[in-house]
Amino acid sequence: MLIYLDNHATTRLDPRVFEAMLPWLKDQYGNAGSLTHAFGRAAREAVEQAREQVAQAIGATAREVIFTSGATESANLAILGAAARPGREIGKLISWQTEHHAVLDPLEHLASRGSHVEILGVAGQKSAVPGLVCVDTLQQACSEETFLVSLLLANNEIGTIQPAAEVAAVAHAVGAVLHLDAAQAVGKVPIDVDQLGADLLSLSAHKFHGPQGVGALFVRRRERVTRLSPRVFGGGQERGLRSGTLNVPGIVGLGAAAELASSQLEQEATEIRHLRDRLWRQIAERIPEARLNGPACDSPGTRLPGNLNVCIAGVEGQTLLATLGEGELAVSSGSACSSATPRPSHVLQAIGLSDDEARASLRFGISRFTTADEVDRAVVLLADAVARLRP
């Protein structure tokens, strides 16, 4: 039995989503831009239905949804596209140390070109909610020149859920827009762009049982209309913001996955949270000196239901991962993009873990397909591996 507990990296395509995509991979192969014939018009209709499904899942209107290749592209378009607006040369962008590289790297790129970028710290592991941003610190950092604040709504390593509405109020008070990286939050916690105060929001289908390589950017077009400059030029698709032939099967899959996730969100979150708690309880019982990284599991509002991150002192994380990965258990040490490199997680470092502690940490992600038997077996495999590796 192979056990997959790496659901922050990606999730299994739901068979119902696959069924929805199938016709668009076979006989329905029109280009959604070819409106002179039935093939193209059918594809366009399917894309517009998916746009509606995505909009409904996040409390937006369909015309505010721009399809992309995933959250990396969405975040890049949000940040670089906002910075490229006329008059932004002297402006300031603010974000936090625990963001995903899809946000940190475009910010670093802008900083290298002379933009004013400020990266703020977060609450440490010993504080009430590890990984939480401080709204007062943001207030001090914000000024009239600030035009963009970018916040990771739910952290992909330690699961911290941020007070987005409070951050939005501070950003809006100085006329800045708020970009939320919601790649790990959509389909897991309720999302309403109005309640969250989001002006831009990035999401990715493969994080909630949709296909890989497709996502969306919400760009607000009501009240505070948000303007971006495109980063990709060509045929003018997606309101000119993202040129290129649309990925119709992927977009149909994204729409189906978004609808499915929001239709069963609460019940699914409860089940997933129980499995996550079961996993942590057993790890804590069976593995001496296993410590939780990130917020407490019993505070649902501050930690993603399916997220667990554990430091197992005295074991080298990469060796443990390799041992587990050769066997039946798929987990990771952190972000998928960086887990091939032995660098310790920047997120764990930001909450105050030493390099050794960060290297000895494992991230577990539970999904709708995880069973209690798998959780129990995973703990046995983990405990055995740790017993073998500990001196």
Ligand X SMILES: Cc1ncc(COP(=O)(O)O)c(C=O)c1O
Binding site for ligand X (CB under 6 A): 70-72, 100, 102, 152, 156, 181, 183-184, 204, 215, 336
Give min distance, CB of 334 to ligand X, in A.
10
Q: How many CB atoms lie within 10 A of CB 354?
A: 12
Residue among 120 and 313 whose Cβ is closer to ligand X: 120
Which amino acid appears at position 359 of this protein? R
Smallest separation (angstroms) from ligand X to the CB of 70: 3
Q: Which is nearer to ligand X, 100 or 242 (CB)?
A: 100
Looking at the Cβ atoms of 156 and 367, the one nearer to ligand X is 156
Q: Give long-range contacts, CB 8 A cutoff, 24+ apart: 100-103.
A: 100/71, 100/75, 100/152, 100/156, 100/181, 100/183, 100/335, 101/335, 101/337, 101/338, 102/71, 102/72, 102/75, 102/76, 102/181, 102/183, 102/202, 103/75, 103/79, 103/150, 103/152, 103/179, 103/181
CB of 286 to ligand X, least distance (A): 29
Of 13 and 174, which has the nearer Cβ to ligand X? 13
Q: Report which residue's Cβ sits closest to ligand X.
A: 70
Nearer to ligand X, 91 or 295 (CB): 295
Whole-number Å distance between alpha carbons of 42 and 36: 11
Beta carbons within 10 angstroms of residue 19's beta carbon: 11
- Of the candidates 134, 142, 297, 337, the residue annotated as catalytic is 337
Residue 311 is a catalytic residue:
no
The residue type at 208: F
With respect to ligand X, which residue has the nearer C-beta, 204 or 262?
204
Shortest distance in whole angstroms from residue 54 CB to ligand X? 14
CB 218 within 8 A of CB 201: yes
Q: How far is the CB of 71 from ligand X (least distance, A)?
A: 3
Question: Minimum CB separation from ligand X for residue 324, in Å?
Answer: 20
Q: 381 to each of 281, 331, 371, 387, how far by Cα in Å?
A: 15, 12, 15, 10
Active centre residues (catalytic): 337
